[in-house]
């Protein structure tokens, strides 16, 4: 047996844990056992001086999921034949290698999230990538001469595992300092599992053959790809890696699409983080835009919403089509309610098909297909209640498949087991031969029950039992107190703590009959199940298209519900440079403040979100410079403008009274303070890196939000940088990127006199007895001061500190002579003297 183990182990990739099937357990040996015992909390045992650790076969999925979450790879070596023949070594073989990017089991996946495996390559032509979701078959390639155009979508996709050529990652890490694209690649890889393949697996010529074989095509012209596309190298590496780990060709692949960054709105990694698109600042889904927009009833719908947010489209007709469907559903509340109820009963067809196609099969998967098909006539009937409209195109893509819909309920039982070996998943009456074999088994078990009663009467042993174990089969169990009553024809098989186990010739013969009948019944049931799987897979294309359409309907119906509950409006999108929002609200903050069950218009009082207007234009009011105190709402305001813009460009209705947006090609943000000490970057360096990315890549069609640029250094250095950044954004004579710039530097408000496309705004506050009240209104004009000391008091600073700060502020303001700046330059340093109440003189330089 250990020879088998080592034969499998030596051919595995490095750092792969091997789970070796022994009866009802998966065993691990040597260093694998030591590692697994630490990660899984298993008891480490020893045999012949080598460490061992095991996990139950039926609970393996949970343990494997924990190993994958820890970034480990797991190889499964199963028994390839029955182990019922005593004394015969069971043949075993490697059945699959599980990695974070190639696992298919539902217990190891988040149903609401896409699960990508991604391959990367970089050369003089730029960054080339391919990503694949084996659970659904989504397969895409991309290439871009500027990696900064491709990395944003890869960051949003958040692949579970990356593949690179051997040595590539080290080369990116150690690239010269000026090669920022390679450093960005290395940073992207730093927090993910990276698997390396030989460089020849990325060669385009061989990769093209690999991809065509996997897709079953003679060329790639049908997918709009030439054989010289640089993304095909990573695509071939993906297919090779998936094939090696599945120990078979991946059967989920339906096609290959090219992703084009020029066709999507890009959000760089900093913006995804700053705007909390997929995760809040705490790293959880709660508090993110994704959660705020998610009203889906299906797992496939939730994943589609995630994909739309990861790559918002610039296709105006597609955006308007989604908006119209949301409007149609919103206008028919009874249809919307019925549709959402029907969708709630739909199962995760894409992932079920993925598992069936890749040999992970159990009766409940077919039950999911059956239950979903049962809902389709009602879905069609519900949609028919709407007038002929945009939603009609979706209706035609939902295939009812009446033959399969009728077949599966006749074949499958109502209650389905999770394991094929449990049997009893084919309905009685479906197959006469199976019914005959089952009756033999039932008759035999009745015979055993009768035998038990007869033996109790014959021997006088009332506690006598006929039992069964996998190791010993059927046996008669007699307690120690009754051993003197055992008849002479009983054959002793085993001694236990409580008594003895016996068999008789009649019992042994009946055991053979029972085993034979059960095995034949199980084999017949498995053959029928295989036929059902074949029938389902024969309709896989129609099922996949239906599932995709139901997912889209799910997202749009969820948005209609969202629009109704929160009083959203349909935004107007066009090709102008305008961004106008009337009474806009922050979609996440608003939901946190209000009771979701109450109508938006009914909620009043201090917890009601205060709406604000926005008016920007690349050629007129290009830059809005916003001043005001901390806690007044500047950051919330500029974020909400970016989020409303993003929502509009995925086709969602928005939290505003009205909205008009000229298409935005990129959203940039520089918000908050953070550092990256692991890579030697201070808070200020991170701020400058993000600012540099914005200034170097923004276009006239971009939207930029900047919050407190320059605060990570000295006052005059920071002011100078902020001043220069504003001038740079305004440098073109006719237009520039639409920009919201929040700042505490009051001096910047002077720029309105010199920059014609800059407008001053402030967040209004009310003062009362040296206290301030935040009214959350953004109004034209500059703030007169920052109210920092009042905010500090609200935060709970000791009154002695507050009083002393007031004294120092008064002295600083009286000694300071404000000089109007017309060009960015530092002020001369002055000596300011402040006398403390009861202390020696203190100098501030």
Q: How far apart are CA 776 and CA 791, in angstroms?
A: 14
Q: What percent of the chain has pLDDT over 70?
A: 90
What lies within 8 Å, CB to CB, of 640 at 6+ separation is 584, 585, 586, 587, 589, 612, 655
Q: How far apart are CA 783 and CA 413, in angstroms?
A: 71
Q: How far apart are CA 214 and CA 212, in angstroms?
A: 5
Q: State pLDDT tens for residues 95-112.
A: 899 999 999 888 888 889
Q: How far apart are CA 233 and CA 210, in angstroms?
A: 10
pLDDT of residue 82: 63
pLDDT tops 90 at residue 667 = yes
pLDDT of residue 704: 96
Enclosing H/E stretch for 27:
strand 25-29
Q: How far apart are CA 721 and CA 15, in angstroms?
A: 49
pLDDT of residue 513: 77
Residue 234 annotated in ligand binding: no
Residue 9 annotated in ligand binding: no
pLDDT of residue 676: 47
Instruction: Please state the length of the chain.
Output: 845
pLDDT of residue 575: 94
Enclosing H/E stretch for 169:
helix 168-173
Residue 249 annotated in ligand binding: no
Phi-psi category of 45—alpha, beta or left, where left has phi over 0 and alpha has psi -120 to 50? Answer: beta
Strands 832-834 and 842-844 come out as antiparallel
Q: How far apart are CA 553 and CA 390, in angstroms?
A: 12
Helix, strand, coil content of the chain in percent (nearest 5): 45, 20, 35
Phi-psi category of 680—alpha, beta or left, where left has phi over 0 and alpha has psi -120 to 50? Answer: left
Residue 173 annotated in ligand binding: no
Residue 250 annotated in ligand binding: no
Short-list 691, 693, 697, 696, CA closest to 711: 691
Backbone phi, then psi, for 476, in 5-degree steps? -100, 125
Q: How far apart are CA 707 and CA 48, in angstroms?
A: 65
Q: Strand order in 473-479's β-sheet?
A: 465-469, 473-479, 499-503, 491-495
Question: Would you call 759 helix, strand, or coil by DSSP?
Answer: strand
Residue 632 annotated in ligand binding: yes
Q: State pLDDT tens for residues 19-76.
A: 999 888 899 999 998 998 999 888 888 877 889 998 888 888 888 888 988 888 999 9
Q: Average pLDDT for residues 227-239, to the nearest whole number?
A: 95
Q: State pLDDT tens for residues 540-572.
A: 999 999 999 999 999 999 999 999 999 999 999
Question: Would you call 70 helix, strand, or coil by DSSP?
Answer: coil
The Cβ of residue 546 has, within 10 Å, a number of other Cβ atoms equal to 22
pLDDT of residue 825: 43
Residue 722 annotated in ligand binding: no
Q: State pLDDT tens for residues 407-462.
A: 999 999 999 998 888 889 999 999 999 998 888 777 777 888 889 999 999 999 99
Backbone phi, then psi, for 150, in 5-degree steps? -100, -30
Question: Domains of the chain (ranges plus CATH)?
Answer: 2-98 (3.40.1170.10), 113-263 (3.30.420.110), 317-401+539-566 (1.10.1420.10), 418-481+500-526 (1.10.1420.10), 572-787 (3.40.50.300), 797-845 (no CATH)
Residue 630 annotated in ligand binding: yes
Asked if residues 548 and 284 have their Cβ atoms less than 8 Å apart, the reply is: no
Asked if residues 730 and 748 have their Cβ atoms less than 8 Å apart, the reply is: no
Q: State pLDDT tens for residues 517-547.
A: 778 888 999 999 999 999 999 999 999 999 9
Question: Would you call 190 helix, strand, or coil by DSSP?
Answer: helix
Question: Would you call 726 helix, strand, or coil by DSSP?
Answer: helix
Q: State pLDDT tens for residues 594-606.
A: 754 444 443 344 4
pLDDT of residue 805: 75
User: CA angle, 819 as apex, 815 and 822 as ends, to 5°?
Assistant: 160
């Amino acid at each position: 047996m250990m020879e088998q183990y080592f034969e499998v182990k030596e051919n595995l990739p490095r750092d792969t844990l091997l789970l070796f099937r022994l009866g009802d357990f998966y065993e691990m040996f040597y260093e694998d056992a030591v590692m697994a015992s630490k990660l899984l909390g298993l008891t480490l045992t020893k045999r012949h001086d080598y460490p061992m650790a095991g996990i139950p076969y039926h609970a393996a999925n949970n343990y494997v999921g924990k190993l994958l979450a820890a970034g480990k790879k797991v190889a499964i070596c199963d028994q390839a034949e029955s182990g019922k023949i005593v004394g015969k070594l069971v043949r075993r073989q490697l059945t699959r290698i599980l990695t974070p990017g190639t696992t298919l089991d539902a217990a190891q996946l988040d149903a609401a999230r896409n699960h990508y495996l991604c391959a990367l390559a970089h050369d003089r032509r730029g960054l080339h990538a391919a990503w694949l979701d084996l659970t659904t078959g989504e397969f895409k390639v991309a290439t871009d001469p500027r990696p900064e155009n491709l990395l944003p979508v890869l960051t949003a996709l958040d692949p579970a595992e990356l593949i690179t050529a051997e040595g590539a990652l080290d080369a990116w890490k150690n690239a010269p300092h000026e090669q920022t694209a390679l450093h960005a690649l290395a940073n992207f890889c730093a927090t993910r599992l990276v698997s390396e393949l030989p460089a020849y697996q990325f060669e385009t010529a061989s990769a093209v053959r690999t991809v065509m074989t996997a897709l079953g095509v003679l060329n790639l012209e049908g997918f709009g790809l030439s054989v010289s596309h640089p993304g095909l190298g990573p695509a071939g590496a993906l297919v090779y890696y998936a094939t090696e780990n599945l120990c078979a060709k991946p059967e989920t692949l339906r096609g290959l699409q090219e992703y084009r960054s020029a066709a999507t709105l890009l959000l760089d990694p900093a913006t995804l983080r700053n705007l909390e698109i997929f995760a809040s600042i705490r790293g959880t889904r709660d508090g993110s835009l994704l959660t705020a927009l998610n009203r889906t009833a299906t797992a496939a719908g939730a994943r589609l919403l995630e994909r739309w947010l990861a790559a918002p489209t610039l296709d105006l007709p597609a955006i308007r089509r989604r908006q119209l469907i949301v409007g149609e559903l919103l206008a028919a509340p009874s249809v919307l309610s019925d549709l959402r109820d029907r969708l709630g009963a739909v199962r995760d067809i894409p992932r079920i098909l993925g598992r069936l196609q890749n040999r992970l099969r159990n009766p409940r998967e077919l039950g999911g297909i059956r239950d979903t098909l049962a809902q389709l006539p009602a879905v069609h009937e519900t949609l028919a209640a709407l007038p002929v409209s945009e939603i009609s195109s979706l209706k035609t893509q939902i295939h009812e498949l009446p033959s399969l819909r009728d077949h599966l309920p006749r074949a499958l039982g109502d209650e389905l087991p999770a394991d094929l070996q449990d049997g009893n998943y084919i309905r009685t009456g479906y197959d006469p031969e199976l019914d005959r074999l089952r009756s033999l088994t039932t008759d035999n078990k009745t015979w055993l029950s009768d035998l038990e009663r007869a033996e109790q009467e014959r021997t006088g042993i009332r506690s006598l039992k006929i039992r069964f174990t996998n190791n010993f089969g059927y046996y008669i169990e007699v307690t120690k107190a009754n051993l003197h009553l055992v008849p002479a024809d009983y054959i002793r098989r085993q001694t236990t703590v409580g008594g003895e186990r016996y068999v008789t010739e009649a019992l042994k013969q009946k055991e053979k009959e029972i085993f034979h009948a059960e095995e034949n019944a199980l084999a017949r049931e498995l053959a029928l199940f295989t036929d059902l799987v074949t029938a389902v897979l024969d309709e896989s294309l129609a099922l996949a298209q239906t599932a995709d359409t139901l997912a889209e309907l799910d997202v749009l119906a969820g948005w209609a519900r969202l629009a109704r509950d929160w009083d959203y409006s349909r935004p107007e999108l066009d090709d102008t440079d305008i961004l106008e929002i009337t009474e806009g609200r922050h979609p996440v903050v608003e939901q946190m403040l209000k009771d979701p069950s109450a109508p938006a218009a009914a909620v009043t009082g201090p917890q009601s979100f205060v709406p604000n207007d926005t008016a920007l234009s690349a050629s007129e009011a290009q830059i809005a410079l916003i001043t005001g105190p901390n806690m007044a709402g500047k950051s919330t305001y500029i974020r909400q403008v970016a989020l409303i813009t993003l929502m509009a460009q995925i086709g969602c209705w928005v939290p505003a009274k009205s909205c008009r947006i000229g298409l935005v090609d990129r959203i940039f943000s520089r918000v908050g303070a953070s550092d990256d000490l692991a890579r030697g970057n201070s808070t200020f360096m991170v701020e400058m890196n993000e600012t540099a990315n914005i200034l170097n890549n923004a276009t006239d069609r971009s939207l930029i939000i900047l919050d407190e640029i320059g605060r990570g250094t000295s006052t005059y250095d920071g002011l100078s940088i902020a001043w220069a950044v504003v001038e740079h954004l305004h440098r073109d004579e006719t237009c520039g990127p639409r920009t919201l710039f929040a700042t505490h530097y009051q001096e910047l408000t002077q720029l309105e006199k010199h920059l014609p496309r800059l407008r001053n705004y402030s967040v209004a506050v009310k003062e009362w007895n040296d206290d301030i009240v935040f009214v959350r209104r953004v109004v034209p004009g500059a703030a007169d001061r920052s109210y920092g000391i009042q905010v500090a008091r609200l935060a709970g600073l000791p009154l002695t500190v507050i009083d002393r700060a007031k004294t120092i502020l008064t002295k600083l303001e009286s000694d300071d002579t404000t000089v109007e700046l017309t060009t960015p330059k530092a002020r001369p340093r002055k000596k300011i003297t402040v006398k403390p109440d009861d202390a020696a003189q203190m100098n501030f330089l």
